[in-house]
């Protein structure tokens, strides 16, 4: 009888098992490929949508203060490409804002920063000297206002002069019109931070130097921007006041070495005198003397020795117009503990800039440059805030801004006087 060969059933079962395993492996492979394709499509779509959303995302920005730092911040905001509406507030009227005669000196780093924002110094009244640009503060502000005026074609720019920033101003704004980013740049005397509930605590730190300032107004001179004058390694003979300075000079390491700067317009002349911190007899004497005429005589003689050839000397008749520090004081930098904040309920990110954030008690004529340093991270801050997906992204942007603000202060304490006075 013909029957199945021995072992035939076993071979058939083995074939069926192998076939099933192959089908399972093929199904698993197809599933894995499908999953990978689905994940890849999801990632591509999500990245594309996020990129498109970030590209399209734009926010409203409010800047309080239209000084050099406030208006530069406005220009940074416009150039960020992430601003739909920009509002600049200042309680001063236009004439009071633009008629200020003070001179500002923009150092090479600030000049490069402003060039990147589209500032054309060839079309601004002022003068160049050693890669620094000198101009009147009103001229600088008027130029930036003219740039913002031209930007109205691309961005909704509103400059509201004669308008004070108060709680009432904020409450009058409809909620949908509240700014996403608020820049406080209303100077050391402004109270916008208190309106927003930002702490007014400052860290006061020494710049390891002593200094004094002087000013003189000469109505017979013009308000013409002039390059600054610097003199170094100055030593004063104060033997008439009982200070034998030459004894200190025997020890070369103890020489304080004073640095002098004369700056400002020909009408409004300013002087800054500074020396590195030391414990010499002369420095101790000038820090503690009660004789107010000593410092005046030092500035008087220094001005006549280093002034420009075209300006008149100070005489005994004009000496009474000279106002100056009574004695040397320690040069200190004050900076806010809180330089950025997040108003959670209103979803507003706040950053404090310029003299509202950090103030030097010693005028070097280049204070605007310290404010410019803080603005170097503003464009990134606005971009990150505008494209933030959630609150954590905003907090990361604020943390980075605070870190940069502290770094600006730390860098100035180490090298600020070196760049603005010692060199």
> What gap in Å lies between CA 32 and CA 163, rounded to an integer?
64
Give the domain ranges of the chain.
14-56, 59-201+339-422, 204-331
What was the pLDDT predicted at 78?
A: 95
What was the pLDDT predicted at 43?
A: 62
What was the pLDDT predicted at 14?
A: 58
Q: Strand 258-264 to strand 181-184: parallel, antiparallel, or no bridges (unpaired)?
A: unpaired
> What gap in Å lies between CA 296 and CA 234, rounded to an integer?
16
Would you state the structure tokens that stand for residue 279, as one six-digit string?
């414990």
What was the pLDDT predicted at 35?
A: 80
Q: Strand 258-264 to strand 229-234: parallel, antiparallel, or no bridges (unpaired)?
A: antiparallel
**Short-list 102, 157, 158, CA closest to 135:** 102
The DSSP element (H or E) to which 271 belongs, if any, is strand 268-276
Q: What are phi and psi of 195, to 5 degrees?
A: -60, -35
**Residues lower than pLDDT 70 in the chain:** 1-18, 20, 40-56, 244-255, 317
User: Per-residue DSSP letters for 32-55?
Assistant: HHHHHHHHHHHHHHHHHHHHHHHH
CATH topology of domain 59-201+339-422: FAD/NAD(P)-binding domain (3.50.50)
What was the pLDDT predicted at 13?
A: 55
> What gap in Å lies between CA 259 and CA 207, rounded to an integer?
15
């Amino acid at each position: 009888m013909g029957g199945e060969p021995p072992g035939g059933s076993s071979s058939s079962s083995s074939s069926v098992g192998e076939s099933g395993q192959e089908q399972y492996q093929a199904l698993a492979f197809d599933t894995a490929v499908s999953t990978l394709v689905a994940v890849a499509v999801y990632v591509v779509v999500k990245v594309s949508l996020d990129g498109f959303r970030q590209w399209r995302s734009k926010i409203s920005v409010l800047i309080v203060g239209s000084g050099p730092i406030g208006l530069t911040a406005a220009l940074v905001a416009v150039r960020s490409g992430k601003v739909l509406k920009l509002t600049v507030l200042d309680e001063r009227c236009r004439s009071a804002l633009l008629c200020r005669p003070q001179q500002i000196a923009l150092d090479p780093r600030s000049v490069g920063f402003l060039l990147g924002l589209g500032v054309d110094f060839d079309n601004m009244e002022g003068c160049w000297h050693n890669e620094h640009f000198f101009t009147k503060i009103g001229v600088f502000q008027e130029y930036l206002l003219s740039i913002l005026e031209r930007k109205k074609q691309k961005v909704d720019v509103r400059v509201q002069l004669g308008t004070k920033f108060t709680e009432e101003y904020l409450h009058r704004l409809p909620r949908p019109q509240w700014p996403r980013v608020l820049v406080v740049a209303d100077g050391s005397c402004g109270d916008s931070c208190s309106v927003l509930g930002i702490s007014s605590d400052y860290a006061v730190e020494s710049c390891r130097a002593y200094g004094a300032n002087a000013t003189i107004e000469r109505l017979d001179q013009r308000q013409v921007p002039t390059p600054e004058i610097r003199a170094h390694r100055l030593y004063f003979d104060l033997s008439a006041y009982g200070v034998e300075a030459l004894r200190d000079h025997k020890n070369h390491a103890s020489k304080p070495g004073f640095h002098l700067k004369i700056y400002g317009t020909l009408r409004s002349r300013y002087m800054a005198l500074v020396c590195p911190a030391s414990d010499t007899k002369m420095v101790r004497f000038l820090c503690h003397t009660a004789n107010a005429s000593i410092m005046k005589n030092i500035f008087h003689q220094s001005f006549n020795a280093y002034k420009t050839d075209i300006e008149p000397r100070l005489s005994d008749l004009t000496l009474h117009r000279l106002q100056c520090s009574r004695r040397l004081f320690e040069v200190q930098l004050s900076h806010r503990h809180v330089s950025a904040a997040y108003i959670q309920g209103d979803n507003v990110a706040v950053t404090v800039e310029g003299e509202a954030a950090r103030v030097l008690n010693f005028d070097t004529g280049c204070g605007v440059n310290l404010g410019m340093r803080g603005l170097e991270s503003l464009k990134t801050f606005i971009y990150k805030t505008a494209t933030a997906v959630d609150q954590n992204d905003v907090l990361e942007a604020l943390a980075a801004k605070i870190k940069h603000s502290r770094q600006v202060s730390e860098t100035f304490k180490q090298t600020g006087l070196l760049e603005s006075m010692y060199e």
